[in-house]
Amino acid sequence: KVSIHSLDVNNTMSVNQLIASLPKLDIAVNNAGIEGAVGDIINLTSEDYDILMNTNVKSLWLCMQEQIRWMRTHQKPGQIINISSVAGIRAFAESSLYVGSKHAVIGMSQAAAIEQIRHGIRINVVSPGAVDTPMLSRLFSKNMDTLSKAQPIRRLAQPQEIAEAIV
């Protein structure tokens, strides 16, 4: 059985209540992210940083922390899959905050994986390339064709393909 939950992942109480209410937790997929402010790094603000990092990094940390706590408290091994991006592996101009946040997701997931494996909790990251989503359209509306051709598969990935990789 699969249950999908949508909530404000920046609200610690909401995250804690949701995870605590789950009768069973075998696998968790953490997939929250925004593109945030883009542009030259000198034009970005502390507020831009806080908004993006809170959504892309802190929220994932909150969810993962509670998921691990649930699994360890119930002594149930499990799997956590965090979604990053190719931007967590390769940088792009005018996207320093987004790229930094996706690098952070990978690093945090790797460190947590090393910590938690002794409890039977496996943590992995999926880092998709360009996926045909509204966020990508907002960022690359004028260059979608060029972006598509730059992908190894010569097109944008579809969200269903990423879901299948996770499964």
Beta bridge partners of 125: 82
Whole-number Å distance between alpha carbons of 162 and 136: 15
Contact 114/63 with Cβ under 8 angstroms? Answer: no
Q: Out of 85, 98, 99, 112, which one is annotated catalytic?
A: 98
Question: Known catalytic residue: 98?
Answer: yes
Q: How far is CA 111 from CA 8, 104, 116, 126, in A?
A: 25, 11, 9, 15
The single residue listed with the structure tokens 């883009």 is: 38
Q: DSSP characters for 115-136?
A: HHGGGTEEEEEE----B-SHHH
Active site residues: 98
